[in-house]
Structure 1
């Protein structure tokens, strides 16, 4: 396929996302107020507890067998690497910023480290693969083969990506923000007029290696493992069980299956997840228009690492794994793995900032800029990734 055809194929799903996102933003306007704050919370709960698990379980059950299961082992490792890179960037960025004079102001400490740590944002992955990748299968001249087969596997791969990312977000990112928020509040209390200021050794002079070692030592003790029992994680388990256990598969999957109505009902619920997620995305971006005191350097830092450095590292990791033979050469699977390195941050982090009551407006601005830039960067990276995996 020509580069122009690949560019058109990559841009069409992005344009669809932008249109539905715009509708979500419109519905969230004060004068419309269909997707106001309370409505978003309720709809998000329905997606989290009903639509999302149904989407994950139904698509994995249909596409995954014991043989295909053995080929998916690299995806959790791939997602883990993105979080690992983000964590390293988080520690390094905070360390360099804490040595600056701007950080010494309490408001800046809260603004930068309690919610918008670059690592938290860089490591997290948005849910766009579940929207973008299946849509590419429906485009004319798709390089991923027959539409039905492509769509089935695209939904399975993207559903697994969404579920695994959800586990990482609510077990890792959530606890990072919780711990960071608590520490920043304590630090601000110590530097208030009624407290003695922190010593330099406690503040800006701590070596990066010591901070990383302290983080790796204390974090596992503070982590909340309940996230591993999140609805999407349970959906993954159910989907794998049905797909890999032949009696269950024969009972539920296929038009001739005795209980195919259960699978069909799960598909119907799962189909509602994609438009609901996209509408919520648009509604959550709207508060970013109100602005905040977030520094431009923070947004630039996130954008550069998220949309330039991380995709390049992902390219080396994924193609290197293919080259040495530890990853199969399925173009669709490779494309999703590569795409994971070029995604904007997860929208769920805004919910987490609401839980801890800080950084909501600032993170909304970051979301607005990162998702706005993603419309361009995702199109360009998707075009390049398509050319790479099909050439």
Structure 2
């Protein structure tokens, strides 16, 4: 297909996102204030506890079966690689730009996570609907597009609330702990160290004992700190739990027959949840537009950090993603004849920073992150 046609196919889904985002930005203007701080907070809560879980559960339950999951097994690994590699690049960015400690957690979150949930559900089916789509017959493409996007949504939600939020929270708490506490030796060990002794062997033994006690104490304190800071309430967020429930419904044939399909006895439950879930994508995109207004008004984040995040998410990770997918193709981990699946795998590396990072902080704020700068995501 021609370059112009390919550009139009790629442009249409992006325009949809931009238009909805623009509406959200206008709604947040001071003259309108339909998405001011208070309405925004309430809408966040509705999305977090109702709309997003409904979207994750119904998308998986309706589109993913045990057979389809077995053919898409590489997608969870692909997403995990993207999150881990993004974290590594974020760590390098922090070292290069000397990012302040109160911003390091949000930088890691923005670089490691991406909008692998709502964006594929918008853009992948939209690409298939175009008459000039490079993925063949639009009806066949659309039939496969939603299972791919739904699995990306579900796995992305699980990683967001387990890996990303966990790393972000532990990293910030570790930094705070390093600033506020210092390691001290037990008084008895210190007194032993200053006892006079004419035997050098005794003195060496005392120093060795002190070193061992100090090292073991540091290890035990670090393990205790990590165990205390891992909050299961945050790991098992509503969207992550709903994704697991939807996955179980999809692969368990008896349960699936009860809920999914025109002849299912309990199909009204699935239909109602589906209606709720459909509202999640536009609402989340509207909030993204409202958050952009805060960024336009200025932030305490340096331009170097912002440019670095843009470079990581829009240049480095997409290039790495191409390499990952090509390597998987070479090793036979991904079917070579499924171009749409390959596109989704690469697309997962090319999504912008996740608004869910800032969104999660607003719903689970323990005063251990700086929310003033969360709009950089």
Alignment match of 2:348 (pick from 293, 315, 340): 340
Flag structure 1 segments of 5+ consecutive residues without an equivalent.
Answer: 191-213, 368-391
Residues 310 and 341, structure 1, Cα contact 8 Å, conserved in 2: yes
Deviation at 1:96, TM superposition (A): 4.1
Counterparts of 1:231 and 1:109 in 2: how far apart (Å)? Answer: 30
- Residue range with higher mean Cα deviation, 58-67 or 175-184: 175-184
Contact 2:90–2:112 (Cα < 8 Å) also in 1: no
Tell which deviates more after alignment, 240-249 or 69-78.
Answer: 240-249
Q: Determine the C-alpha separation between the residues in 1 that align with 2:255 and 2:361.
A: 41
**Structure 2 residue aligned with 1:164:** 155
Candidates 285, 290, 303, aligned match of 1:278: 285
Which residue of 1 is the match for residue 35 of structure 2?
Answer: 35
Q: Verify the 8 A CA contact 2:54 2:277 in the aligned structure 1.
A: yes
CA distance in 2 between counterparts of 1:151 and 1:318 reads 22
Q: Deviations over 1:327-365 (max 9, x none)?
A: 22422222111011111111122235552375434342x
Cα 1:166–1:249 shift into 2, 3 Å:
closer
Give the superposition deviation at 1:251.
2.8
Per-residue deviation, residues 10-55 of structure 1 (Å, max 9, x unmatched)? 1101001111101011111122111122222222222222222222
User: Partners of 1:171 and 1:65 in 2: how far apart?
Assistant: 24
1:301 has 2:312 as partner: no
* Aligned-residue offset at 1:184: 4.2
Contact in 2 for aligned 1:66/1:244 (Cα 8 Å): yes
Separation in 2, partners of 1:257, 1:77: 33
Matched, 1:121 2:132: no
Change (3 A) 1:51 1:114: closer
- Secondary structure, in 3 states, of the residue corresponding to 2:72? coil
Q: Could you say what secondary structure the match of 2:130 adopts? A: coil
**Inter-partner Cα distance in structure 1 for 2:44 and 2:60:** 22
Deviation track 1:126-152 (CA, whole Å, cap 9, x = no partner) reads: 132222112222222333345454334
Deviations 1:344-389 (A, max 9, x none): 111122235552375434342x34xxxxxxxxxxxxxxxxxxxxxx
Give the structure 2 partner of residue 360 of structure 1.
371
Q: Give the match for residue 292 of structure 1.
A: 299
Matched pairs, number: 331
1:78 aligns to what SS in structure 2? Answer: helix
CA distance in 2, matches of 1:289, 1:360: 16
**Structure-2 separation of matches of 1:44 and 1:85:** 29
**In the alignment, which of 107, 119, 129 is matched to residue 138 of structure 1?**
129
Contact conserved, 1:291 with 1:361, CA < 8 A, in 2?
Answer: no
Return closer, same or farther for 1:147/1:57 CA change in 2, 3 Å cut-off. farther
Q: Which residue in 2 is equivalent to 1:61?
A: 61
Q: Does 1:234 align with 2:250?
A: no
- Report the counterpart of residue 215 of structure 2 in structure 1: none
Contact residue 59 and residue 152 of structure 1 kept, 8 A: no
Q: In 2, are the aligned partners of 1:56 and 1:156 still within 8 Å (CA)? A: no
Shift of 1:269: 1.6
Structure 2 unmatched ranges of 5 or more: 182-218
SS of 2:349's partner is helix
Distance in structure 2 (CA, Å) of the matches to 1:186 and 1:60? 40
CA distance in 2, matches of 1:333, 1:155: 11
Alignment correspondent of 2:186? none
Secondary structure, aligned partner of 1:115:
helix
- TM-score, length-normalised on structure 2? 0.79
Query: What is the TM-score normalised by the length of structure 1?
Result: 0.76
How far off is 1:287 after superposition?
Answer: 0.6
Counterpart CA distance in 2 for 1:154 and 1:83 is: 22
**CA spacing shift, 1:261–1:146, aligned 2, 3 Å:** farther
The answer to whether the Cα contact below 8 Å between 2:84 and 2:112 also exists between their aligned partners in 1 is yes
Determine which structure has more spread, i.e. the larger CA radius of gyration: 2
8 Å CA contact 2:65–2:250 kept in 1: the answer is yes
Q: Could you tell me how far apart the structure 1 residues matched to 2:158 and 2:178 are? A: 30
Task: Quote the Cα distance in structure 1 between the aligned partners of 2:293 and 2:260.
Answer: 41
Residues 109, 165 of structure 2: 8 Å contact kept = no
